[in-house]
């Protein structure tokens, strides 16, 4: 099964090509350049490197959010067009779950992906890794940092990952002190999107282009003004 995986939810965008769970290639770039400039060239490069075309994909995996509204929309419209053109399904994957997936571990471990949602909020959730599987403990959503951190078990070691760490590191230390662990993993998640997407596609849980929806958790600035 050939899978093209795409993440455009943060500045650390990435595209990955997988054959089932095997990574064939990955294109990563952390840039403020718009995805309208860099996404299609990245897809074209990674497919040509393997002498493949969109029609050769068995399915697609997409990070549908939360994250940048503009980035999500560009990723959504691009992958929808791939799905329309090929007739192949799309696996919709959460950005937060993909971040947590980077830290999964066989023994019990608390994993906390955090994205800076701006406006004094974070997109966040809490997972527990058990036998390399993830159980959602605190639901994904948009939270005020203080409210979210107050929900976490301060007596347990928690592994934090995501760009929200840069903004709220001091606050995390205030709440969790020596129980906080900060990930040094790269911010690029297209491979993890592909792995999670493969499981969905394998179980026939992919959706059509018409059914594909973003995961926002709150209204965009334009919608709020309107």
Given a cut of 50, is residue 226 above it in pLDDT? no
Given a cut of 60, is residue 221 above it in pLDDT? no
Given a cut of 70, is residue 222 above it in pLDDT? no
Which pLDDT belongs to residue 31? 78
**Distance of alpha carbon 119 from alpha carbon 206, whole angstroms:** 33
**Distance of alpha carbon 171 from alpha carbon 167, whole angstroms:** 9
Could you give phi then psi for residue 87, rounded to 5 degrees? 75, 15
Which pLDDT belongs to residue 32? 75
Set out the domains of the chain in order of their start, with CATH numbers: 2-95+187-225 (3.30.420.40), 103-182 (3.30.420.40)
Q: Among residues of the chain, what percentage have pLDDT more than 70?
A: 96
CB 100 within 8 A of CB 162: no
pLDDT tens sequence across 168-197: 999 999 999 999 999 999 999 999 999 999
Under DSSP, is residue 18 helix (H, G, I), strand (E, B) or coil?
A: strand
Sheet holding 12-19, edge to edge: 22-30, 12-19, 2-7, 59-65, 90-94
């Amino acid at each position: 099964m050939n899978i093209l995986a795409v993440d455009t939810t943060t500045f650390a965008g990435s595209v990955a090509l997988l054959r089932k769970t095997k990574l064939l290639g990955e294109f990563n770039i952390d840039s403020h350049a718009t995805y309208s400039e860099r996404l299609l060239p990245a897809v074209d490069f990674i497919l040509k490197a393997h002498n493949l075309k969109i029609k050769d994909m068995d399915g697609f995996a997409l990070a549908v959010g939360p994250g940048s509204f503009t980035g999500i929309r560009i990723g959504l419209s691009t992958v929808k067009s791939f799905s329309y053109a090929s007739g192949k399904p799309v696996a919709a994957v959460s950005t937060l779950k993909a971040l947590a997936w980077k830290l999964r571990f066989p023994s019990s471990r608390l994993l906390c992906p955090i994205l800076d949602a701006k406006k004094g909020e974070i997109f966040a959730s809490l997972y527990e890794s058990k036998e390399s599987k993830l159980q959602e403990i605190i639901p994904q959503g948009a939270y005020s940092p203080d409210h979210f951190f107050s929900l976490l078990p301060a007596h347990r070691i928690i592994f934090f990952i995501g760009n929200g760490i840069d903004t709220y590191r001091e606050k995390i230390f205030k709440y969790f002190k020596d129980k906080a662990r900060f990930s040094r993993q790269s911010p690029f998640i297209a491979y993890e999107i592909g792995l999670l997407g493969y499981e969905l596609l394998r179980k026939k849980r992919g959706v059509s282009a018409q059914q594909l929806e973003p995961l926002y958790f709150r209204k965009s600035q334009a919608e709020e003004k309107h």
